[in-house]
């Protein structure tokens, strides 16, 4: 469900006061989250105003309801991990940075005090976001395996005698075992997609996979119903890694060989004032 932040400037003036045209009225910006799908148009009785062309207008009152804090958090997380392009660079170097950004965004919601970021991440079956090693960034194979493994243990598909002491190894083993069925023509692939649809969709989105990066509802493919395989996911990771490595190499070469021309205003370099 899309959410909208409206910035509402207004002047803090008394209704009966008048402001000189020479003095600018002080304005304050407020941002509120509004669920545009739940706006209720409640018309109240008012005289109809006749126009020369027999056109009538009716005044209306709009009642705005805030998005539930869980949905607000989920939408913010989805937008923060979605790359700007199919192989766009990550916005955050670590999951700690991502959680900090979520905390800042969450502070704008009136129900922020009722939600724990760590608890919500666990409720979404994305415990990899609580690990700060680069291997566990959203859209990586390790993070996908870790989350799928944790979820498979939660639903009772795997049992370990002491999962708390070997949590990382247990989650990765279970996840890799589940993802092994996610291959083309495997008869159990459909079951894997259905059981882990939310997790698969999240990491497909973060990896920039085609059909998974558009915010819902328009153009967004549900992981439970498409035929994406594990090899499709790993091929996307390989393709983007090679592309980003090439871009970084070209930038590095250009930086070493470029000579600054102070009269060339179209070049990339220090500002030039003529």
Q: What is the mean pLDDT of each run of 10 residues along the chain (274 residues)?
A: 41 41 48 54 48 58 80 94 83 95 94 95 97 95 97 91 77 95 91 94 92 64 84 94 77 55 41 34
Measured distance between the N- and C-terminal CA atoms of the chain, rounded to whole angstroms: 50
The token duo for 140 is 């990586």
pLDDT value of position 164:
65
* Cα–Cα dist 154/160, whole Å: 11
Going by the DSSP 8-state scheme, the letter that residue 157 receives in this structure is S
Is the bond preceding 24 in cis, omega lying within 30 degrees of 0? no
Buried b (16+ CB within 10 A) or exposed e, 31-49: eebbbeeeeeeeeeeeeee
Q: pTM for the full model?
A: 0.68
* Cα–Cα dist 62/143, whole Å: 44
What does residue 34 show for φ and ψ, rounded to 5 degrees? Answer: -130, 135
* Cα–Cα dist 177/181, whole Å: 7
Going along the chain, which residue ranges are E strands? 4-11, 27-34, 40-43, 60-63
The total of other beta-carbon atoms located within 10 Å of residue 134's CB is 12
pLDDT value of position 206:
93
pLDDT value of position 39:
52
Place of tokens 């009966």: 16
């Amino acid at each position: 469900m899309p959410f909208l932040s409206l910035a509402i400037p207004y002047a803090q003036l008394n209704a009966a006061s008048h402001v000189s045209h020479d003095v600018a009225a002080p304005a304050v910006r407020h941002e509120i989250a509004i669920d545009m799908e739940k706006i209720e148009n409640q018309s109240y009785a008012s005289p109809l105003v006749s126009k020369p062309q027999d056109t009538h207008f009716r005044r209306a009152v709009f009642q705005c309801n805030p998005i539930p804090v869980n949905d607000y958090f989920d939408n913010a997380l989805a937008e923060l991990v979605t790359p700007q392009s199919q192989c766009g660079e990550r916005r955050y170097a670590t999951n700690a940075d991502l959680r900090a950004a979520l905390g800042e965004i969450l502070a704008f919601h009136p129900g922020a005090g009722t939600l724990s970021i760590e608890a919500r991440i666990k409720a979404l079956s994305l415990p990899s976001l609580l690990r700060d090693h680069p291997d566990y960034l959203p859209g990586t194979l390790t993070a996908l395996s870790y989350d799928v493994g944790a979820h498979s243990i939660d639903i009772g598909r795997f049992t370990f005698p002491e999962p708390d002491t070997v949590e990382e190894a247990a989650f990765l083993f279970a996840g890799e075992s589940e993802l092994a069925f996610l291959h083309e023509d495997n008869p159990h692939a459909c079951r894997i997609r259905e059981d882990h649809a939310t997790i698969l969709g999240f990491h497909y989105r973060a990896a920039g996979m085609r059909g998974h990066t558009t915010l819902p509802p328009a153009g967004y493919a549900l992981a439970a119903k498409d035929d994406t395989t594990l090899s499709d996911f790993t091929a996307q990771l390989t393709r983007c890694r090679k592309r980003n490595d090439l871009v970084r190499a070209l930038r590095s070469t250009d930086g070493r060989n470029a000579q600054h021309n102070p009269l060339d205003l179209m070049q990339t370099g220090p500002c030039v004032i003529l």
